[in-house]
Amino acid sequence: MAKGFKMYKDNKILVVIPARGGSKGIPRKNIRLLGGKPLIAHTIEMGKASEYVDDVIVTTDDNEIKFIAEKFGAETVKRDGKLAEDSIPLDPVIHDATIQKEKKENRKYDLVITVQPTSPLLKTKTLDLAIETLLNPNEDNEFYDTIISVVDDRHLSWGYNEDEKKYFPLYKERVNRQYLPKAYKETGSIFATKREFVKENSRLGDNIGLIEISKQESIDIDNYEDWWVAERILKKKKILIKADASHEIGTGHIYRALSIASKLVNHEVVFLLDEAQPLGIEIVKNNNYPYITHNINKGRGKEADEEAKEELIEKIVEYDPDIVINDILNTNSKYTKSLRDKGFFVVNFEDVGGGVKYAHMVFDALYEHKIPLKNLYSGHKYYILKDEFYYQSFKEIEENVDKVLLTFGGTDPNNLTEKVLEAILKSNYKNRIEIILGLGYGNKKEIRDKYKDNERIEIFENVKNMSEHMHDADLIFTSAGRTMYEIASLGVPCICLCQNERELSHIFGNVEHGFINLGLGSEVSKEEIKETFESTINDYQLRQEMNKRMSEVDLKHGFDNIKRLIKQSYKEWKEERNEVKI
């Protein structure tokens, strides 16, 4: 509640919503359903939610609008037909409605605020800001008489001289938009004025103040295009993604989270990142996504750990998302249950922790879980490819192997890169070798220095076009993580080495899907790697068969499958909570 609340309540405040029945651009638009309820209902509910406003009235000439307005809690006043004609401005309409209401209540209002029913995205806090601005002194210690909502509309604008038949610039110099002087356009959303200035032919006081509102709130529905935009915005969800990256946990979680975010263009997405894991922050920052941080390492001991978890939940509550996505491997049951109890829809990825049973949905492309939970979906049908892999063509297998690619993820903790490289160099293979090192790879300098004079070897870091590098290779060595799916989507023959026991349970990397899996990389000898490599590059038919089996796996609809399931589950959840009316 704003400071000086009593002062605001001491002022009698009236909100007037003008809504005639004869709209032309969209017939009967004020009572058409937008986001599941009549257009005018959005503005009524917004006004009634303000703790400052005493009364919300709708002035209308239309009985159906009157009926619906009253259903949603507004009072109505009858507008004379002459005041509903196309040529009539709002000033006499608002004056007439105010007079009628004051006569009925036998009292005077202090502020009269016009709010348009065609501004369904206007927020109560913006209305409250207009009231506070009108009732408090400005920077010059003066009081405004009228407050009008505006939007920053600066552009490189041009005028036209009728006499000279010439166009001329309305700016002094050509600069980027953000460096132009601000130019404000009235939105029509809010017109707040002190009562003494509400007259039959004017609502403007002597001292005018402006409040700048967002582009979203400024939408004024005048045509079907405006309606479509408003509908999309109303369906927009606030989605928080909790993920991290470090040398210990790798970068797979954060990159999948980025892939998810890239496909949620119709929603507001923010990342929640651990301050103690700067690698994740660096990756998200480099991809220009908004993020907030928390500190999970408050100290040592059970009490400090609990405090850190509480802070994590507090950060989520503060942002107040519709959906929380966790991509953190092992969720804590208390954490996930707390999110659910606080009213958030919880979706977890690759979760083998205690929180699985409390999440609304769990998707795991890597593991086939043994316990058949109702909320769990596993298998390659739920893998989310990075955008760049959708438009790469499928590999055509050549008889000769001219390039071998080594890519062992973001960190490669067991340095399988160098182990495989040494095995290849001892083989009879004499063509190109390409190595891609992840952001968290710890031996970059050593491997570069060691092989800098070998012209066959090219080493890359932090590549932005991984799909291109993979597609150009004739054979790939990788670990048994998410990279397998990317490789399979392109059809490039692949030999896998698992980084740890966990990767041994990634069942996708097997012969059925076109992979040669050598098992735990730390236990595989260089000689075994060499022999497998030589037999693979010398067997053209084997590589063709590997390619064919990869082609039989559909990996380009994973996000669509996930989205469809989440959409249905979220809808059912909202209906259970009586938040969606069918």
Residue 69 backbone phi and psi in degrees, to 5: -60, -45
For residue range 409-452, what is the model confidence (pLDDT) as tens digits?
A: 878 889 999 999 999 999 999 999 999 998 778 888 899 999 98
Determine the length of the chain: 582
For residue range 331-342, what is the model confidence (pLDDT) as tens digits?
A: 889 999 999 999
pLDDT band at 1 (very low <50, low <70, confident <90, very high): very low
Residue 372's nearest CA partner among 392, 383, 357, 350 is: 357
Give the Cα separation of 308 and 297 in Å (integer). Answer: 7
If one counts every other C-beta atom within 10 angstroms of the C-beta of residue 221, the result is 26
pLDDT band at 369 (very low <50, low <70, confident <90, very high): low
Give the Cα separation of 391 and 170 in Å (integer). Answer: 44
pLDDT of 149 reads 95
* Sheet order of strands, 432-437 included: 457-461, 432-437, 403-407, 475-478, 494-498, 515-520
For residue range 35-55, what is the model confidence (pLDDT) as tens digits?
A: 889 999 999 999 999 999 999
Give the Cα separation of 38 and 33 in Å (integer). Answer: 4
Tell me: pLDDT of 3 over 50. Answer: no
pTM of this structure:
0.74
Measured N-to-C along each axis, helices 540-551 and 483-490 cross at an angle, to the nearest 10 degrees, of 100
Tell me: pLDDT of 580 over 60. Answer: no
pLDDT band at 172 (very low <50, low <70, confident <90, very high): confident
pLDDT of 297 reads 60
Local structure of residue 302 (DSSP, 8 states): H
pLDDT of 2 reads 44
Tell me: pLDDT of 61 over 50. Answer: yes
Lowest mean pLDDT among 295-309, 329-343, 556-570: 295-309
CB 425 within 8 A of CB 431: no
Tell me: pLDDT of 298 over 80. Answer: no
Rounded to an integer, the average pLDDT of 479-506 is 92
For residue range 452-469, what is the model confidence (pLDDT) as tens digits?
A: 899 999 999 888 899 999
pLDDT band at 188 (very low <50, low <70, confident <90, very high): confident
Q: Kindly report the average pLDDT of the chain as a whole number.
A: 90
DSSP 95-158: HHHHHHHHHHHTS--SEEEEE-TT-TT--HHHHHHHHHHHHS--TTS---SEEEEEEE-----E
CB 259 within 8 A of CB 486: no
Residue 362's nearest CA partner among 399, 329, 317 is: 329
For the range 127-133, what are the long-range contacts, defined as Cβ-Cβ under 8 Å and sequence gap of 24 or more? 127/15, 127/46, 127/47, 127/50, 127/53, 127/190, 128/2, 128/50, 128/51, 128/52, 129/211, 130/190, 130/192, 130/211, 131/8, 131/13, 131/50, 131/52, 131/53, 131/192, 132/2, 132/8, 133/209, 133/211
For residue range 110-131, what is the model confidence (pLDDT) as tens digits?
A: 999 999 999 999 999 999 999 9
